Every structure is written in C-alpha cells, then in structure tokens.
Amino acid sequence: MILPSVAIVVGLVVLLWSAGKFVDGAAGTARYFGMSPLLIGMLVIGFGTSAPEMIVSVFAASQGNPGLALGNAYGSNIANIALILGLTALISPIAVRSEVLKKELPILLGVTLFSVYQLIDLEVSHDDAYALLGIFAALMAWSIYSGLNSDNDALADDVNAEVLDQPIRKNVIILLVGLLLLIASSRLLVWGAVEVATFFGVSDVVIGLTIIAIGTSLPELASSLMAVKKGEHELALGNVIGSNLFNTLGVIGLAGVIAPMNVDPAFLWRDSILMIGLTVALFIFCIGLKGPGRLNRLEGGMFVLVYIAYMYFLLASSFSA
C-alpha cells in the first residue's frame, strides 16, 4: 500500500502544478493569437481547469475503470460548488455582474438535469455519451459566438487582468510542459487510486467521488481563491461554471464513448440528487431573482457544511458496508 499511496500524493501534487502551468500557457498563447478576453475566460480557462478531470477520466475508462471516471466527474462538480465556491464566498462574497455568466447558469442547470436523466436506466451508454458530446459541441459554438460578439463584459475585464503578458515562445513551452506532466501525473494518480480501492474493498466510484474529485478540483480552488483575492469575482464563478459544464458534457461524454458505464442505484439517488440540489441553489443565489446576483458568506458557509456532511456520509457508509 505504500507505493500506491505515494503515487496518489505525488500524482495530485504534480497534477495541481501542471494544471496551473497549462492554463497560464494556454491563455497566454490564445491572447497572443488574438483571441478575445471573454473567449479566453469562457473556453481556454474553463477547459484548462477541467483538463485534470478529463485526462484522469479518459485514462480510467480506457483502463477498465469507468466508475472512477463517472465518480470523478460528478464528484468534481459537487466539490466545485459546495467546497470551492463555498470557501471562496466565506473569504469574500461573490458578486455576479457578468451577463454571460448569468446566461450560462441556466444552461448549466439544464445540462445537469439532462445528464442525471440519462442515468435513470442505470447506464451511460454510447448513445448517451454521443448526446453529451453533441451538446458540448453546440455549447462550444455558442461560446465562440458570444465571445466574438460581446467582449464588453465583467468577465472579460477579469481575464484581462489575470492573463500573463509574456513572449509566445515561453507560453508555448509552459503549455507543452504542463500538458505532458498532466498526462503523466494522471496516469500515476489513476493507478494509485485503483490499487487503494482494491486494497480497502471500496468501489472505484467512491474513490472517484472523494480523493480523485478533490484532487482534480484543486486547480479550480487555487484559481478561484486567487481571483477573489484580486477582486476578480466573475473569474472565480466562471471557473466553476465552465468546469462543471466541461465535466458533465466533455468528461462523461469522452469516458462513455471509450467504455459504457453501469451506474449503482445509490449513485443515482445520492450523488446525482445532491449535484442537482447544489446547482439549483447556485442558480437561485447567483441569478439575482430579487436583485443583483450574489453568493454571500452565509450561503457559502451552507455549501461548505453540506460538503462536509456529504463526505462524512459517503465515507462512513462505504467503510461500514
């Protein structure tokens, strides 16, 4: 057990570092080639912070552990809202001024409901996966259109302040190094997680929902905390919305194309319902039904408490089974 445990720790540390470099290099390269700040915020940064989930899940599915991929995607979505936005709002309430983010919130809610609807038959089939990827492609097209036609947005201002201004050669090198280390650390992490799950007799879905989900969500946590520290609230929320869309559509879609996934009934009523509830709560808090959208400290604290209770219940029920 020593070697797999070391593999998980080293894999997570390298994954966190390389994900940050990958996002920095990708965003800097995109700006050099003239991509608008809003488009960088919606696509490049959203994709970059979800790259760990995507690569880990693809490796898991290709190595015969599709449950790890499903648990990773849903677990990351839960962690992004309850843990990451919760902690971020506790430090500094998140004001929502971006019109683009307000349009993305109902899209995220709809995508979440659709993805859970697919699980009712307790399977993510090839057809389900292709449907998710089709929606993903349509969403990317809409994001590109929005980014090209509405650059005057609060999110664009935050991205302009965040993206590093450095030579293109340096950006490309950082991008490639980050990508290579992402791939290597993901393979190491998946191997260690599967070995630990086998040793303790815990399902790979639970490992995906806990250790792997928290680990692959660390880039979102780091970037959100840094963004709020700089007063870039739109970027902090945009990271989570973009990441959850990528996880639900891209990560599960790719993993499902590689290997169809059987779904445990407990996963449907426990984890899926929680993900829906958190997404609905985020929508209500941030859309601003009775005024400006805002995630305050009380709401952030509620999110964190829900996540702590969820982790306790999940681990207690897994090890007592």
- Kindly report, residue by residue over 299-311, the tens digit of the pLDDT: 999 999 999 999 9
Q: What percent of the chain has pLDDT over 70?
A: 82
What's the mean pLDDT when you consider all of the chain? 81
Asked whether residue 128 is domain-assigned, the answer is yes
For the entire predicted model, the pTM comes to 0.83
Asked whether residue 20 is domain-assigned, the answer is no
- Kindly report, residue by residue over 178-216, the tens digit of the pLDDT: 878 877 887 787 788 778 877 877 787 888 888 888 877
Sorting pLDDT into bands at 50, 70 and 90, what band is 77? very high
Q: What is the 3-state secondary structure (H, E, C) of the chain?
A: CHHHHHHHHHHHHHHHHHHHHHHHHHHHHHHHCCCCHHHHHHHHHHHHHHHHHHHHHHHHHHCCCHHHHHHHHHHHHHHHHHHHHHHHHHHCCEEECCHHHHHHHHHHHHHHHHHHHHHHHCEECHHHHHHHHHHHHHHHHHHHHHHHHCCCCHHHHHHHHHCCCCCHHHHHHHHHHHHHHHHHHHHHHHHHHHHHHHHHCCCHHHHHHHHHHHHHCHHHHHHHHHHHHCCCHHHHHHHHHHHHHHHHHHHHHHHHHHCCEECCHHHHHHHHHHHHHHHHHHHHHHHCCCCCEEECHHHHHHHHHHHHHHHHHHHHHHHHC
Asked whether residue 275 is domain-assigned, the answer is yes
Tell me how many domains the chain contains: 1
Asked whether residue 264 is domain-assigned, the answer is yes
Range of the domain at 257: 42-157+197-320
Q: What is the pLDDT of residue 174?
A: 84
Asked whether residue 218 is domain-assigned, the answer is yes
Asked whether residue 33 is domain-assigned, the answer is no
Sorting pLDDT into bands at 50, 70 and 90, what band is 42? low
| Average pLDDT of the residues in 151-172 | 66
Sorting pLDDT into bands at 50, 70 and 90, what band is 291? low
CATH for 227: 1.20.1420.30
Asked whether residue 35 is domain-assigned, the answer is no
**pLDDT at residue 151 tops 70:** no
